[in-house]
Amino acid sequence: MPTDGIAGIDRQLEKLLDHLVWADKRVLDSLFAMTHLDQRALDLYAHVLGTEHTWLARILGRGPKEKIWPDLTLERAAALAAENAAGLRALLESRSADDLQQKVAYSNSAGAAFESTVEDMLLQVILHGCYHRGQVAMVVRGAGSEPAPTDYIAFVRGAPAAVTLPPQR
């Protein structure tokens, strides 16, 4: 991720955060559009949101109100996605590039103690969501519905990437 030094980190993170918010919304829309919602897809999406919430709480030094694997309805998922987006944006807007290099002590879900920079914690949130949104897409397609394309290039282009289906075996 090329930047113009530490000052460019916050601009890159802001762009990646914009993608996260966009992608979360698209996945939510694809789940709402399913004729028969596949619970596995909702559970994976809820995990994305629960994890976003938990990492934000860690950065802010407070306890999370949601589990890592929360049991959400689509309506509650929509609300949590909006809460996460607002919280992550406010966090990024309130921190300088130097603040992003500060270390935060926290415990993981197993209770092990760690220390990471705010930047690394935000990158974890962003990359973790990409991984699981791909899983949601696979479940949605397997259920006979159309998943939302959430690739970063689709976000920056404003148009989905080319779709090539894997060969039938």
Spatial separation of the C-alpha atoms in residues 22 and 46, rounded to whole Å: 16
Segment 130-139 long-range contacts (CB within 8 Å, at least 24 positions apart) = 130/23, 132/44, 132/45, 132/47, 132/48, 133/23, 133/24, 133/27, 133/45, 133/48, 135/44, 136/27, 136/30, 136/31, 136/41, 136/44, 136/45, 136/48, 137/27, 137/30, 139/38, 139/40, 139/41, 139/44
Q: Whole-model pTM?
A: 0.89
Mean pLDDT of 58-68: 96
- pLDDT greater than 80 at residue 165: no
- pLDDT greater than 80 at residue 160: no
Residue 94's pLDDT band (cuts 50, 70, 90): very high
pLDDT at 8: 63
pLDDT at 126: 96
Fold type of domain 6-157: Four Helix Bundle (Hemerythrin (Met), subunit A) (1.20.120)
Spatial separation of the C-alpha atoms in residues 125 and 57, rounded to whole Å: 12
pLDDT at 2: 47
Packing angle, helices 118-142 and 39-60, rounded to 10: 170
- pLDDT greater than 90 at residue 97: no
- pLDDT greater than 70 at residue 3: no
Residue 1's pLDDT band (cuts 50, 70, 90): very low
pLDDT at 9: 66
Residue 43's pLDDT band (cuts 50, 70, 90): very high
